[in-house]
Amino acid sequence: MNTKPKSNQMPVGSVQCDNTTLNLLKANDFVAKAIREKLPHLLVVNICSSPGSGKTTLLQETGRRLGKELNLAVLVGDPETERDAVRLKEAGLNALQIVTGGMCHIEAQMILQALDHINLEGTDILFIENVGNLLCPSAFDLGEDARVTLLASTEGDDKPKKYPRMFLTSELMLVSKADLLPYVPFSVEAAAKDAREVNPDLEVIPISTLKGDGLDEWCEWLKKQLAKKRGG
């Protein structure tokens, strides 16, 4: 699994001058390392996207499809309200809301604190549903084993080059709301090309939680990552 801190990964063509800049993310990376040590047998997946791209709906459907096979838990980040955690609990998932109080991202110390308030005994996969934002969350390692970014067909296919760091630090890009592709000016091929110019190793799966397209592939991807984490 990739254990390189997300904060250290820079887009192609950029230069980080350590001798002239203060890396304010080092403390976050230290806590992220502690989270990995605390959860050696769980697969931790950080789900990122813009607001409204379908993260919560995807997790609801993931719970329905994998809930009888694997034990799943979710830490949900939002600036306010517990609405998403309520939705996930209603879908049968073990979920806990992290209210950031207006902050545009989750930080590792929030995850570490939340671990004291959620029962993860027997859990196979812990999802972190990050705050809807393609910018700020990209720099914060949350101790995850994999980062997954949703790019909705309604957002436009130019986002990988506009927000390169998010796609650089992700292992998988899910093109969500794929059922709308016939009706919107979005090219999966163009988005995938731009994303892979930023990150050649990035996997891409178009999905529709409404129609079910790509969800079997998504679930298989998760099971494969879990097996890798456990050395299988």
pLDDT tens digits for range 70-82: 999 999 999 899 9
What does the pLDDT look like over 82-105, one tens digit per residue? 999 999 999 999 999 999 888 889
Mean pLDDT of the chain: 91
The contacts of residue 208 (CB under 8 Å, 6+ apart) are 176, 177, 178, 179, 214, 215
- The structure tokens listed for 55 are 């993260």
Could you tell me the maximum CA-CA distance found in the chain, to the nearest angstrom? Answer: 52
